Amino acid sequence: MCVWLALLTGLLTVPELDTAALRDGDILLHTSRSAQAVAVAGATASPYTHVGIVERTGDEAFVIEAVARTRRTPLPRWLARGVGGKATALRHPGLDAAARAAVVAAAAGYLGRPYDLSFTPGDDALYCSELVALAYAAVDVAVGTWRPLGELALADAAAQRLLRRRWRAHPACRGAPSLAACRPALAAIPVLTPASLAADPRLRIVGTSYLPRPR
Residue 59, in any domain of the structure: yes
pTM over 0.75, yes/no: yes
Average predicted confidence (pLDDT) for the chain:
91
Mean pLDDT, rounded, for 46-74? 96
pLDDT at 73: 98
Please give the residue that has the higher pLDDT: either 10 or 185. Answer: 185
Residue type, 182: C
Residue 215, in any domain of the structure: no
Give pLDDT tens digits for 12-23: 567 899 999 999
Q: Which helix (H) or strand (E) holds 81?
A: helix 75-81
3-state secondary structure of 174: coil
3-state secondary structure of 139: coil
Residue 122's CATH number: 3.90.1720.10
Counting residues of the chain whose pLDDT is more than 90, the rounded percentage is: 87
Reply yes or no on whether the pLDDT at 146 is more than 90.
yes
Reply yes or no on whether the pLDDT at 155 is more than 60.
yes
Residue type, 149: L
Residue 77's CB is within 10 A of a number of other CB atoms, namely 10
pLDDT at 212: 54
Strands (E), the chain: 27-30, 50-57, 60-66, 70-74, 88-91, 147-148, 190-191, 204-208
Residue 150, in any domain of the structure: yes
pLDDT at 80: 95
pLDDT at 214: 30
Please give the residue that has the higher pLDDT: either 12 or 109. Answer: 109
pLDDT at 12: 55
Residue 214, in any domain of the structure: no
- Could you tell me the residue range of the domain that residue 159 belongs to? 2-208
Tally of structural domains, the chain: 1
Q: Residue 54 class from Cβ within 10 Å (0-12 exposed, 13-18 middle, 19+ buried)?
A: buried
pLDDT at 215: 27
Residue 213, in any domain of the structure: no
